[in-house]
Structure 1
Amino acid sequence: MKQDKKLVVAISSRALFDLDASHRVFEEQGKEAFCRYQVEHEDETLAPGVAFNLVKKLLAINRQLPAPEIEVILLSRNSADTGLRVFNSIRHYGLEISRAAFTSGQSPFNYIAPFGADLFLSANAEDVACALAAGHAAATILASGPAANASEQLRIAFDGDAVLFSDESERIYRAGGLQAFTENEISEARKPLSGGPFKAFLAALHRIQTLFPADQSPIRTALVTARGAPAHERVVRTLRAWDIRIDEALFLGGMDKGPFLGAFGADIFFDDQKHHCESAARHVATGHVPHGIANHPCSAGTSD
């Protein structure tokens, strides 16, 4: 990673703000009715969405640095005309977001690369799948009702296999079961796992963390995995080989992740498995990463 590159997060308007009412108009009455609704309500401030707190905390980190190191951009299926309400709401909340792409109903994922985004968050699963297929870190924001973490520190939690790491071990689990998975992780304990779709994003967070004393970092990260001993060793050695910092590592051995994510105070959690995401969303803001064998048709079972 170039040291002069900012950490860039691209976000859709429905991930940033609560657009459920206008989206229902779109689904029930069509595009023209949606456009009229947005224009008629453009002076009404939108309520924060699931990823609002994440964005607010990311941008606040810039105020602790000599020069901005983080940028948030808007990638929206709105038109510029209907998107005026979104920018009015951005101004109302004092969010320092100035760059945007409005695509009038088309998928905006083609603009992720030109903007240099390290992460794409959207409520549109199709856009997220396209982004992941193109090699970008991306997640579908799920409906979530938990209270925002009141701490000023930004806390981000990640699943391991198929998120930070490749799904190579997950494939062995699904093909041969837990015993085959465990035996493989023991025999390959000193062989680092390949990187998954969120490796580069974690590395970008790590670079921001290094700009602060370790005990004063505005960012705290956690690995929250269903792995337990002895399958933990390969994960630890992989992160060590990558020279990437992870602040907390929870090896849960199959326990429900939700309560632990709540205890960590995650502003967002990323996982590839939909059932883990649905459980986590009862406790914290959650992004589903539709990547790897767990998201192939007819796949069943779980290790991570």
Structure 2
Amino acid sequence: MPVRLGDKLVVAISSRALFDLDDSHQVYEQEGLEAYRQYQIAREDTPLEPGEAFGLVQKLLRINSMLEGDSRVEVVLLSRNSADTGLRVFNSIQHYGLGITRAAFAGGRSPFQYIPAFGTQLFLSTHAEDVRSTLEAGFAAATILPSNQPREMRDELRIAFDGDAVLFSDESEQVFQRDGLEAFQASELASARDPLGGGPFKAFLAALNRIQTEFAAGECPIRTALFTARSAPAHERVIRTLREWDIRLDESLFLGGMDKSEFLRAFGADLFFDDQEGHCRSAVGVVPTGHVPHGISNRLLKP
């Protein structure tokens, strides 16, 4: 019988999000594919340095060891490398003891088409177009931004989400963009008991929440938080929506337009997801950040 990943939390990650491949990529950009190939082969026994999402992957995979052999998290490598140039990546995975055994090497093309086959709930990449294609196909995805932040050594995995266009649909953000803050507040107050539609990260949060329920109170290695620019009275619809979905967030911050960065620093996020580039530029100075190019704010940015 073929192996199926079933109800596992499946996270796909690109090689450049997992490891620091900046030097290698510079060789590719300046000297071409064959020089890049030779560069990687000559160094295939030299482990790559951790990339922006390395700590997140370590903490995700650690969850399996805490569930007494019940593997609930699968991390899959999706790479534009060929298997030939990707050997250094797999050797680095083995060097760091990461439990990653499955991979797709797409030989220079986008690997996003393999996301449905793996049953992926989240794709992390440094390649913006691959991320956009994944979101358009209906899967959660984010572009990992370079931050060079010191990595938190804490064992607990902390993930932070923006609300509209990330956890929720962008229906409310459309009202705000079109008609302004006052109209947005009035619309949310009138619709307070109408659940919001799900955004691209709803399924990922639900999968995290299912794993959280498998741990006793006080022992869960995952902590989640919502960081939203909303404030009262627009808070009620968010709370009622999560209740309708039967999804729990550990923390919810309604910031009323305040800058999120210091709050994210206080939370200690291992990764923060936001759809707005301005919020991401502010956040990446304090925590690892993934831009979610989805919703009305990103459509307005297109030329």
Give TM-score, length-normalised by structure 2. Answer: 0.96
In the alignment, structure 1 residue 78 sits paired with structure 2 residue 81 = yes
Does the 8 A contact of 1:149 with 1:266 survive in 2?
A: no
**Aligned equivalent of 2:26, options 18, 24, 27:** 24
Match of 1:52 in 2: 54
Q: Counterparts of 2:168 and 2:201 in 1: how far apart (Å)? A: 8
Name the Cα RMSD after superposition: 1.1
Does the 8 A contact of 1:182 with 1:230 survive in 2?
A: yes
Match of 2:274 in 1: 271
**More displaced 10-residue stretch of structure 1: 74-83 or 24-33:** 24-33
Identity across matched positions, percent: 66
Structure-to-structure mapping, 1:1-304, within 5 angstroms = 5-66=7-68, 67-298=70-301
Q: Counterparts of 1:248 and 1:211 in 2: how far apart (Å)? A: 19
Letter of the structure 2 residue corresponding to residue 50 of structure 1: E
Does the 8 A contact of 1:158 with 1:271 survive in 2?
A: yes
Q: Per-residue deviation at 1:150?
A: 2.0
Q: What does the per-residue CA deviation read over 1:40-91, in whole Å, with 9 as the maximum and x for residues that have no partner?
A: 1111110100000000000000001131000100000000000000011000
Show structure 1 runs of 4+ deviating over 3 A.
none
2:180 partner SS: helix
Q: Counterparts of 2:180 and 2:210 in 1: how far apart (Å)? A: 37
Note closer, same or farther for the CA distance 1:220–1:260 as it changes in structure 2 (3 Å cut).
Answer: same
Corresponding residue pairs, total = 297
Q: Counterparts of 2:233 and 2:150 in 1: how far apart (Å)? A: 35
Q: Per-residue deviation at 1:149?
A: 2.0
Q: Per-residue deviation at 1:297?
A: 3.5
2:231 partner SS: coil
Q: Per-residue deviation at 1:27?
A: 1.2
Q: Counterparts of 1:60 and 1:293 in 2: how far apart (Å)? A: 36
Give TM-score, length-normalised by structure 1. Answer: 0.96
Match of 1:302 in 2: none
